[in-house]
Amino acid sequence: MDSDLPLVANYHQILSQQPPLLDLRAPVEFSRGAFAGSVNLPLMSDNERVAVGTCYKQQGQQAAIALGHQLVQGDLKASRINAWRNFALAQPEGMLYCARGGLRSQIAQQWLADAGVVYPRVKGGFKALRQAAVAVIEHAATLPMLLLAGPTGSGKTRLLQQLHAVDLEALANHRGSAFGRKLAAQPAQIRFENDLAGALLRVQAIKPAYLLLEDESLLIGQRNIPHVFFHAMQQSPLLLLDEPLHTRIEVILQDYIVDLLSEAMSLHGEQGFNQFSTMLQQAMARIRKRLGGALYAELNARLTEALTEQQRSGDINLHRQWIARLLTDYYDPMYQYQLKKRGLPILMRGSASELSLWWQQQTAVR
């Protein structure tokens, strides 16, 4: 193999800029987690990889390499090279990698070069990039942090998106509550962490006074914030976002009724409303025990009535009733209890515009 083919090791740049990545690992490896911008075009299928791995253990490297060439030859080899070539030509700024930067990526890079396309290979492959991502998160845990807190519906995510912040819920594809599931699946845990590393690098590049994040639980849906990072978050001061109840109701209405239905309809067509209704009813059922029998029965009845009217006429006004009651009787008391229990210092408290101005002043000071 040609040792002069390009090799790259700019891991932080790859993590932060998220260039196109040709992932040569087997599908089962890819499904456990990858990087943003990666497309799985494997050198070997899952079964082929198992066969070669078994051969390697029993007969050694040379026998395994010979078996690999035997399994991937002729039209199959040509079709895989053609897929890589199409990717590389369409994504000239990209690069390829395998699990550890070893034979799989070296062979694929050489086959591509033989087909007339020189494409960079990531030194150390997925493992090296993954180690770099973990190191970024561990380093970020040593930096000053500031958590944006506030009652449900206060618009924390919207404010974060306006500022130079790390949006953990966006990275986890979950809004972080019983009603927080989205129609698209959450990323694998490894992908969540890799994307977090990239987001941290992008924010750190502008050198903010603090790493600004939303105040989250350890789990965001089924994805957990890395423990070292979460521990640092738990020691950090707060910004408190205060908005009146009527504003919060409208935020919830937009996010969980209007936007969620729109997403469901775009994905499921005529069945979208049924999918949307089921998600809301399942979310309510998930907090049934914490609501208590009487409150759950009332809220579920109001939700059902609102959904029926919405489907009949398109009117969403009835949703405001159960949303208001859910906020005042469930989410707000829980928020106040948790805030008092933790006793973290509060640097600033105010509306979105007041907190935004305060944040801009902190940035200007630096």
Contacts of 207 (CB under 8 A, 6+ apart): 366
Structure tokens, 83? 């897929």
- CB-CB neighbours of 218 under 10 Å: 13
Q: Torsion angle of alpha carbons 271, 305, 176, 248, nearest 10°?
A: 120
At 245, which amino acid appears? Answer: L
The token pair at 356 is 């935004």
Tokens of 159: 């404010």
Q: From the candidates 26, 36, 81, 98, which is the catalytic residue?
A: 98
Q: What gap in Å lies between CA 7 and CA 101, rounded to an integer?
A: 10
- Strand-pair partners of 238: 147, 346
Q: What gap in Å lies between CA 199 and CA 167, rounded to an integer?
A: 8
* C-alpha 256 chain-centroid distance: 19
Residue of 200, 228, 198, 201 whose CA lies nearest to 213: 200
Which strand (E) or helix (H) includes residue 251? Answer: helix 245-252
Told to judge if 98 belongs to the known catalytic residues of this protein, a careful annotator would answer yes
The closest alpha carbon to 53, from 109, 102, 120, belongs to 102
Nearest residue to 203 via CA among 155, 158, 144: 144
Count of helix runs (H) and strand runs (E) in the chain:
19, 11
| Interatomic CA distance for residues 67 and 61, integer angstroms | 10
Question: Integer distance in angstroms from the first to the last C-alpha of the chain?
Answer: 51
Please state, in angstroms and as integers, the Cα–Cα distance from residue 256 to each residue in 13, 173, 309, following that order: 36, 14, 16
Residue positions annotated with a catalytic role: 98
